[in-house]
Amino acid sequence: MSDNGNGPSQRPVDSSQTISSESEHSIRLSDAECVEKCNELIEQYRRRENPKVDTILALRQTLLDSPTVQEGGSLPDALAVFVSMLDSVDRANSKAAERGIEHGHPASQHEAERRVSEPRGEEQEVENGAGRERDSSESSDEDERPSKRPKGRLDTSKFPWHGKRVNAIAALAPDVKQTFEQLEQFSVDPKGVVRDILSTPGCPPFPPEQWLNIVQWKVVDLAKVLEAAHSTDLEPKQTHVIDDKVELSFRATKSSSGIQSAADHNIAFTKYINALTFVFPQRWEEYTSWNAHLSGLFHAFETSRHSRVIEYDKAVRTLVSLQRHIRLTDYSAFGELQYTFLSSFGVGPNSSESSAGGGGKSERGSGGGKKREPCHKWNRGTCAKSSSECFFLHCCDRKGCRGPHKKSDCPRLGKSGEGPKQ
């Protein structure tokens, strides 16, 4: 053979693997073109168009045409990069198959056969050994951490009410519309939002669990707000260890009297306004107007009936938390609640004779010269208390009659044209 370099028998083995003859490849590929071609081979493997062995051989042949490799660059190092990408595809497919099995959708037969029949040659083991070591260490670290399955996002556009929701939000007032947008952002990580609020200098003092209610637009417990304002405990959680093996952890709860008066409500609600408008500043005028409205109701009702106003406020705020398009100043939307909680004939817990639990006892004990009202439940036959236990009088509640009989047995029924009881 001559020494002109055309005889393959006189060349080193590695040179024959890295250099191609001009007659075989008249057009040289650039490094960028080689990388693009390798990426296309990876995508074909991801789509399961080619087996892994054929893909690796094709990658090797493509890298042989790379100018960097031909000029003395390391072929194994370049090939290892793309082989690691193939391994990443395998791991992703394996996790997808595991999720499918957990949900009752096992991996396809084609996928199982491909993995079983896939040969693992000695050359591939050598080239991928380092990458596999790294992958196994990473997977072991991942196994030690608690795995959380990512939740897929809902496609709300498929819901039958989606169009109505979009149109309704578009027609809302600017302040309410802005609130909807904020709540949608906060819903991604409400606890993270609270952590950011608490780490912000100048944020109003407020119980952390009630901050969470604010960012989720839930009803805030004013009793807990008032309790936190008067509390000096920094850590209510207590821990006890038994026999160095069992640890009991619980929160020490304190008895709270809750919101008992207009003053209690005003203190807690003012703190509530400061906290809520820190997150939703556009609602400041609305909540201050509602607080002024409640102050007027407290002034209009007797002190013994302030519990009605407190329950009415809680019921209205509950409705607003459920119907987010309603403002607290939409008083016409609360007509039924006004009758339920503010009227003496309502069915609220503090209406009619039920409201005697607070100030009624003081009226009975002190006398006070106030006239006791008839028991409406006794007249309907539903009062479970005796005449001595019930704060209200067990007498006829017909106007002008206080006889020791029920209204249905009142002898005056015939005198008003209603006719005697049959």
Position 151 pLDDT exceeds 70: no
Mean pLDDT of 225-244: 64
Q: What is the pLDDT of residue 31?
A: 76
Unique residue bearing structure tokens 């959380």: 148
Going 262 to 263 to 268 to 273, the CA torsion angle's sign is positive
Position 321 pLDDT exceeds 70: yes
Mean pLDDT of 152-177: 87
pLDDT digits (tens, 9 = 90+) for 83-129: 888 888 888 888 777 776 655 554 444 454 444 344 444 444 434 54
Q: What is the pLDDT of residue 360?
A: 40
**Best-predicted range by mean pLDDT among 20-29, 78-87, 96-105?**
78-87
Confidence of residue 274 (pLDDT cuts 50, 70, 90): very high
Q: What is the pLDDT of residue 118?
A: 46
Position 144 pLDDT exceeds 50: no
Q: What is the pLDDT of residue 291?
A: 95
Confidence of residue 367 (pLDDT cuts 50, 70, 90): very low
- Tell me which of 145 and 188 has the higher pLDDT: 188
Mean pLDDT of 256-264: 82
pTM listed for this prediction:
0.48
Tokens of 288: 């201050």
- Tell me which of 31 and 226 has the higher pLDDT: 226
Q: What is the pLDDT of residue 293?
A: 96
312-315: long-range contacts, CB 8 A cutoff, minimum separation 24:
312/337, 312/338, 312/341, 312/342, 312/348, 313/265, 313/269, 314/219, 314/222, 315/340, 315/341, 315/348
The distance from CA 70 to its chain's CA centroid, rounded to whole angstroms, is 57
- CA 169/CA 162 separation, integer angstroms: 11
- Tell me which of 31 and 304 has the higher pLDDT: 304
Going 162 to 168 to 172 to 174, the CA torsion angle's sign is positive
Residues 6+ apart with CB under 8 A from 270: 291
Q: What is the pLDDT of residue 70?
A: 81
Confidence of residue 184 (pLDDT cuts 50, 70, 90): very high
